[in-house]
Amino acid sequence: MRTPLPEVTPVATPNEDAATGNTSGYRLDLDGLRGIAIALVAIFHVWFGRVSGGVDVFLTLSGYFFVASLLKHVLATQPASTTWRAAVNPWPRLWRLIRRLLPALLLVLAFVAAMIAVIMPTTRWGPLGAELQASALYYQNWHLAFESQDYAAADSANSPLQHLWSMSMQGQFFVLTLLCALALGGVLRLLGRRSVFFADPKVVRWIIGLALAAVALVSFAWANYRHDINQPFTYYDTVARLWEPLAGGLLAVWMPRIAMSRAVRNVLGVISVALIVTCGWWIEGVQEYPAAWALVPVGATLMLIWVGSSKTAGPDVAGAAVTQSGFSRGLAHPQLVWLGSIAYALYLWHWPLLIFYLAWRYQDDVSWVEGTGILAVSVLIAWLTTKYVEAPLRSGSSTRKRPEDDAAATGSTPRPPLRNTRGYRRTLLALLLIITVAAGSAALTWQRDAANATLDTENLDPRLYPGARAFLDGAPVPKVTAQPSPDVVDMDWPITSYDSIISGWKDPSIKVGYYGDVNATRTIALVGGSHAEQWITALDAIGKRHNFRVTTYLKVGCALTTEHVFTWFGQKYYQCNDWSRRVMERLAVDKPDVVFTNSTRPVEAPGKGDHVPNDYKEIFAEFRDRGQRVIGIRDNPWSTGKLKPPECLASGRKPEVCGVTRQQAMAPTDPAAELAGEFPNMSFLDYTDAMCDDEYCPAVVGNILMWHDFHHLSATFVRSLIPAMEADLQRTLGWW
């Protein structure tokens, strides 16, 4: 699930409205719109696991208010009477952003760090430590973008910090826009001294608007171009997201003046609200945003800003000016406005509370009662955070009734509320500093420990660690600690990964590796993706023992395919088809004695067993027609839980509940074996019985962890399969 960030800058003031030419004053209706948006975000996250479109609403509002404020500043600092320091110094506004954003964020990050140590399995401490650092330093969106390209991390469970990607993106927008606006304002101020043309406020507004429009168009074009190439990365990409807040900024610069009747404004407003409320159901935001479909929530937000402003006010029946339509009064309902006032804190809190609750309860989702409780607690904590952390440090003074007013009524000596005293603010800052240092130290320690972890399982005693032999041969299983440790099993990849003899996502090259007896004349070619690669551990050892060479032709996430566009985890994997075609041509030249590749794959719908895809059959037919001998190995079971099996084990659960049922993972019999008559050039291997009993495929077999992630076999477990595979290859090949 990818998640949006509420708008975090203060709503428009009359002064900021003056910069846009709007005279509506304080826009309570937009506070109410924020309330609707955060309600949608939280509800969709808690119960539906979908993107609601709220991020686009918040980004558009942020752009509108922030650019309006910057435009006002640039216009006000153009006269020569204004000092250069006042015109181009970014620090006052940066300091306002820091005071507004950091206190609540640091509090939440400290809470998350503490809960990670209490609830999360130790296997996740290192990666989550990196996310704590990325969130605090405002590059979480880029961290997650590159994680989405990491084959080993692409299927990771939801993080309690995943939602902060959008805050990082928005922080980057604020800083970049601020610096560029001040720089452009300084240039225009310099030019204005030489020519009155550049001193004209209308010219300044047009130049700023054209600059914003140019960047927004480039960003929108980039988002749509990258959508078809690498959507998971594009979702987090700041460049692809910039057009959304810039669209709001453009409305602040150029707000059209078109008088409308109250009825027309109401109709447009109702339609816009309806689009925002419903778009999460009929647009797959994770797959479509921030490309063209994001125009729906962005456009609806722009419409609400516009039709609720004085720019569209027209005469009513009596001829008086209409300044607020019915829908605007509805959005300005006190409850919605109040919810909008705590939107930032509510966004920060609701997601980690949900994720930690699910981890604590070992659940994949929540009931209506549980979800309601999580939302209620989130709202309460958000209100407390806003009142006692955000407000005192943001303003430094009370925004409520003055103490003097109470004194006049009661005759008492005026005293400011405790949370607005200098002592309270100093104490609060000290506490925030302490918990920030503690959380930062924990994050760095977790990352260091993960980086220094080592794996040593190549020489396990087979009497203590029978692995696959426990199911295949009924070997006794002594009571010892399972290996590898869940904390390091994610390092238990095949040797080809460490040798970098596997082509990456964007690498079009064919990397050929040589293993086994590299000087032998007989050759087995291991071909495919990582689910073929995992068998090199056994083939390498058997090849050395029985004098055959193993050549590898491997690419991550790419089994041999004839599909024009192969899709993997939401990405259109154009390179896979091209690589497969060129590898088939290379094999026709290299002429290995045997090709060893996968013969099945899980059905697309999780928990539906495995099958032989049609493109696999087409590849098998090509091999048959050229007389190529092939060994097809059935794919292993894929776990289907929210947690990776090692994480499940590290959380204290039993291997018997950290795996997957055999019925969910595998068909009753090997689907590929039915193809023997059609493909006489093929032999088929199936080691399901080494990984599962009659009912279940546990996370630990014969004291060895079977998976190192959701679905890749650990190299240590494959090593325990060597005796069985050695015997099967002898019967199949007759080479020894």
At 235, list the tokens. Answer: 């979702």
- The length of the chain, given as a count of residues: 736
Q: Is the pTM of this model over 0.95?
A: no
What single string gives the DSSP state of each residue in 201-267?
HHHHHHHHHHHHHHHHHHHHHHHHHHHTT-HHHHHH-HHHHTHHHHHHHHHHH------B-HHHHHH
Q: How confident is the model at residue 193 (pLDDT cuts 50, 70, 90)?
A: confident
pLDDT in tens, 582-627: 999 999 999 999 999 999 999 987 778 999 999 999 999 999 999 9
Mean pLDDT for the stretch of residues 716-734: 97
Whether 196 has a pLDDT exceeding 90, the answer reads no
Mean pLDDT for the stretch of residues 33-50: 94
> By the 8 A CB rule, do 22 and 74 touch?
no
Per-residue model confidence (pLDDT) at position 156: 54
Per-residue model confidence (pLDDT) at position 6: 39
Question: According to the per-residue pLDDT averaged within each range, which of 149-153, 357-361, 377-381 is highest?
Answer: 377-381
Average pLDDT in the chain: 89
pLDDT in tens, 325-343: 678 889 999 999 999 999 9
Per-residue model confidence (pLDDT) at position 321: 45
Helix (H, G, I), strand (E, B) or coil at 101: helix
Whether 407 has a pLDDT exceeding 80, the answer reads no
- Nearest CA to 649 among 699, 683, 613, 593? 699
Per-residue model confidence (pLDDT) at position 12: 40
pLDDT in tens, 279-319: 999 999 988 999 999 999 999 999 999 998 888 876 554 44
Query: Does residue 711 or residue 313 have the better pLDDT?
Result: 711
Label the pairing between strands 512-516 and 549-554: antiparallel
Mean pLDDT for the stretch of residues 254-258: 89
- Rounded to the nearest 10 degrees, what angle do helices 54-76 and 295-307 cross at? 50
Per-residue model confidence (pLDDT) at position 354: 95
At 145, list the tokens. Answer: 């973008």
Among 258-262, 523-527, 690-694, the minimum mean pLDDT is found in: 258-262
Residue 111 CB contacts under 8 Å (≥ 6 apart), including other chains: 352
Q: What is the spatial distance between Cα 202 and Cα 191, in angstroms, rounded to a whole number? A: 15
Mean pLDDT for the stretch of residues 672-677: 93
Per-residue model confidence (pLDDT) at position 403: 41
Residue 248 CB contacts under 8 Å (≥ 6 apart), including other chains: 59, 60, 61, 62, 63, 64, 65, 67, 301, 302, 305
> Could you give the domains of the chain?
28-395+434-439 (no CATH), 468-733 (3.40.50)
